[in-house]
Amino acid sequence: MYAVIKTGGKQYKVAAGEKIKVEQIPADVGQAVVIDQVLAVGSGADLRVGTPWVAGATVSATVVAQGKHDKVRIFKMRRRKHYQKHGGHRQTYTELQIGSING
């Protein structure tokens, strides 16, 4: 059984037992999280698609870790103008262990 969920403005296809990294969720490590924005639920050839959410469907997960991705280097330059700008960014994430899909 699998589900398509929406969290942090992105969509993820998940199944029970998987680990995924999503945009940061304000939760402690070890805490249970319930995601109720489920776009689709499928099992084999059977597929239920919501408009926009599947009624009564939820995905339960456990927070495994909080962290930051690798640094993304930002370099801007205008040739022949003596303009160079350096920057960087590290996006935060929450790692989730998908427990069960209900619906």
| pLDDT tens digits for range 7-33 | 999 999 999 999 999 999 999 999 999
Alpha carbon distance 75, 83 (integer Å) = 11
Note the pTM of the prediction, 2 decimals. 0.85
Alpha carbon distance 39, 93 (integer Å) = 22
> What is the pLDDT at residue 102?
93
Percent of the chain at pLDDT > 90 equals 98
Instruction: Supply the range of the domain harboring residue 74.
Output: 2-102
Output b/e per residue, 28-59; b: 16+ Cβ within 10 A.
eeeeebebebbbbbbeeeeeeebeeebeebbb
> What is the pLDDT at residue 103?
81
For residue 44, what pLDDT band results from cuts at 50, 70 and 90?
A: confident
Number of domains in the chain: 1
